[in-house]
Amino acid sequence: DAKTTQPPSMDCAEGRAANLPCNHSTISGNEYVYWYRQIHSQGPQYIIHGLKNNETNEMASLIITEDRKSSTLILPHATLRDTAVYYCIAVLTGNQFYFGTGTSLTVIP
Amino acid sequence: DVKVTQSSRYLVKRTGEKVFLECVQDMDHENMFWYRQDPGLGLRLIYFSYDVKMKEKGDIPEGYSVSREKKERFSLILESASTNQTSMYLCASSYGMSNQPQHFGDGTRLSIL
């Protein structure tokens, strides 16, 4: 499974879009990109995943570059409740999920 | 919504005790997983199971065992608890089909004194 690299921390103003980057330059053609978040004292929460195409659901949008070497998770209108650690994971179907240390997002009032 | 329930949020045990952590999911998922989470180390996979009575070692199985007698329940056992097993333990489950996300419980914070 490809290694992912994320910035350790980011800030975002409340109501603005939060754009969280992830680098996965060694990703293979069959590896999916998953995003999770973890709010303090809770288990990781699944957000979204994709392979090649951009994806959107009620929580967020996932933009994957054409070469698939990086992706961006977009929270369109960040709220204080979005303050959490966000994890980007690249995983081959059927393989284990490896969570790194993620990006700590702080939404500022 | 998927519900993964861990039996305790907080647990305190003594060194040498046998400790049972229970996890139940209500979505008929084939796969179940046990992780531990420690500061600076992320989540590390202890054991997982793809079916009833089936188990596979993860990255750090030493000192742990698991049991899956029913599809919805996956138990983690610390045979003889030690202080270095003080940690947050997280259970997850997923469908057996490919490309399915894992869904997590809220974790058990275990302290071994």
* CA–CA distance, B102 with B30 (Å, rounded to integer): 11
Q: Do A49 and B45 touch (CB under 8 A)?
A: no
Cross-chain CB nearest to A43 (options B40, B99, B107): B107
Q: How far apart are the C-alpha atoms of B31 and B50, rounded to whole Å? A: 4
Q: Residue A109, Cβ neighbours under 10 Å: how many?
A: 7
Distances (CA, A) of A37 to B33, B38, B75, B103: 18, 16, 25, 11
Q: What is the pLDDT of residues B70-99, one digit of tens each?
A: 999 999 999 999 999 999 999 999 987 667
Cβ pairs A/B, distance under 8 A: 45
Mutation pick from A52, A97, A98 vs chain B, by most beta carbons of B within 10 Å, is A97
Contact state of B42 with A102 under an 8 Å Cβ cutoff: yes
Sign of CA dihedral A18, A42, B61, B86: positive
Tokens of A105: 């997002």
Tell me: pLDDT of A88 over 90.
yes
Q: How are the residues of chain A apportioned to helix, strand and coil, as percentages rounded to the nearest 5?
A: 5, 50, 50
User: d(Cα B105, Cα B112) in Å, to the nearest integer?
Assistant: 21
Q: Which residues of A touch B59 (CB under 8 A)?
A: 96
Percent of chain B with pLDDT over 70: 96
Q: Average pLDDT, whole number, for chain B? A: 93
B9: left (phi over 0), alpha (psi -120 to 50) or beta: alpha
Model pLDDT for residues B18-41, shown as the tens digit of each residue: 999 999 999 999 999 999 999 888
